[in-house]
Structure formats: structure tokens, C-alpha cells
Structure 1
Amino acid sequence: MREDGRLLAIRRADNGTWELPGGVLELDETPEAGVRREVLEETGIHVEVVELTGVYKNTTRGIVALVFRCKPAGGSERTSSESTAVGWLTPDEVTEWMSEVGRAGPTRRCRPRRRSRRGSGSPRASCA
């Protein structure tokens, strides 16, 4: 997620749907390393993993998905064999272009919030 609240997404080459970048972990890989690798491979963007924001289980397919909030740390957008487009989507575009399943994590979990009055008081994006 960028500071302006836009989310990085790809349009999949196999079915044309917009989704968050992601994939399957290698056997010797931590989830954070897998996120960095998958996002870079699919989008050309280097990311810094900030926090785990959700764990979702697809009981039909036996898949557990970990959703992380990340911030861009370099690189430039490019497509790959897995994507036909890479874009920074607004929350409205996420709602319009992504399936309900694909947008459940980002739209419910990532909302701007303010620090408590005891903190610095500066706004920051965070996943609650």
C-alpha cells in the first residue's frame, strides 16, 4: 500500500481478473521473503513487509492465504508472464475491479487510522 492509500494489483494473464500479487512459498522460504519475491516477480516492485493483516482459509481448495501490508521500496511497474497489467488501484477501483473474495482482505483490513493522542498524532495507514 502506498502512502496515498492505493493498493498494488495485477490483472492476471490466465483469467483477466484483478488481484493482489502473491503466490506459493518455496520450501525454504519465510512468508515475508515469499511476499517480497512474489511481488517483485509479478510487478517489478520491491516491497518492505510491514505486518500480517489477515489469514484466510479456502476450505474448498485447502489453501491458507496470508495477507500482508507492505510498502513500496523501489523498482518500477512491469508485467510478467503472470500479469497483463500492473496498477496502483484506489479503494473504489479495488471495489469495482476485484472479485469479492479478492478484495475482502484489502478493503476490510486496510483503513487509515490515527495514532492515539498520546502518540505523535500524525495519520498513518494501518491494517486493523
Structure 2
Amino acid sequence: MADLPRHSVSVTAVVIHPDGRVLAIQREDDRRWVPPGGIVELDETPEHAVIREVLEETGVQVKPETLTGVYKNMNLGVVSLTFRCHPISGTPHASDEALESTWLTLDQVQHLMPEARAIRVLDALRDDGPFVRVHDGTQLI
């Protein structure tokens, strides 16, 4: 059993500002615009991972509200749990992982983010989930 491949579990936060804009970062490694998120540590719950990752990447404190989707990167074996969140405090700023952190309109989300990331935002705004989707890291498949 030890030789079997394992999945990595991550979280994505769709943080919705009261004015309808969505929190996003421009990743330091590939410069893509994405919602904040990252790997769930072994000793934390997915909700705590969301809170930690958003704070580390953006400086914004959030409260997770609900699970809105499960997304699997078929090429990397990463399963990401996406949570709709609302901001509690803080102002977005750059970090070690984010060249930039800001609030984007939905139009900007659709134009700047890869499809596999933008769909998480769009799904989080719906009330008929949670959704289960697969992608190749960029496009839905």
C-alpha cells in the first residue's frame, strides 16, 4: 500500500466583499490570477486552512461560510475544497506568495483567471451546489 500514489488536499477561498467584488491574488510563481488558497496541513481542518491561507497570502481575515465545490486537478492529483467566505478585517496586500492581492469584479475574474479557477468563483456565487468538477490545471475537462 505504501507505493500507491496519494492525493494532495488543498483549499480555495472565494471571499466576497459586501460590494460583490471577489478577493484574488496574482501568484508569485506563475503570475496567474487566482482565488487565495493552499495545502491543508495534517493538523488542521479545511476551515482553519482557509482562514490561515487567506491571511498569509492577502492579510485579510475571513470567516468560511459554506463548502461550494470540490475540484480535482487530474494532472497533479490535487483535490481542492472551495469555501465561500466573507471578510472580517484587513486590507489586501502583497505577500511572499502573491505579487498582488486585490478585489476583482466578476468581469475581471472571468477575464484574468484561468477557467479552472474562475469556475470556483462562479460556483461559489450559486446556491445549487456544492459542485464537483475536474480540470487539467487550466481548463475544465
Give the counterpart of 2:89 among 49, 52, 74. Answer: 74
Paired residue secondary structure (1:8): strand
Q: What's the offset of the Cα at 1:91?
A: 0.5
**Length, aligned pairs only:** 114
Q: What's the offset of the Cα at 1:107?
A: 1.5
1:66-98: CA deviations, max 9, x gaps?
000000001121111111111111100000110
- 2:20: which partner in 1? 5
**Structure 1 unaligned blocks of 5 or more:** 112-125
Q: Rg: which structure is higher?
A: 1
Paired residue secondary structure (2:57): helix
Structure 1 residues 99 and 3: CA distance shift in structure 2, 3 A: same
Q: What's the offset of the Cα at 1:127?
A: 6.9
Answer yes or no: is the 8 Å Cα contact 1:13–1:84 preserved in 2: yes
- 2:111: which partner in 1? 96
1:26-71: CA deviations, max 9, x gaps?
1110000000000000000000011000011122211100000000
- 1:24: which partner in 2? 39
Answer yes or no: is the 8 Å Cα contact 1:109–1:127 preserved in 2: no
Q: What's the offset of the Cα at 1:2?
A: 1.2
Structure 1 ranges of 4+ moved more than 3 A: none
Q: 2 CA distance for matches of 1:95 and 1:65? A: 19
Q: Percent identity of the aligned residues?
A: 47
Q: 2 CA distance for matches of 1:14 and 1:127? A: 34
Q: 1 CA distance for matches of 2:21 and 2:122? A: 11
AA partner of residue 82 (structure 2): V
TM-score calculated relative to the size of structure 2:
0.77
* Residues 59-70 of structure 1 mapped to structure 2, 5 A cutoff: 59-70=74-85
Q: CA RMSD in A?
A: 1.3
Structure 1 residues 97 and 127: CA distance shift in structure 2, 3 A: farther
AA partner of residue 27 (structure 2): R
Answer yes or no: is the 8 Å Cα contact 2:69–2:123 preserved in 1: no
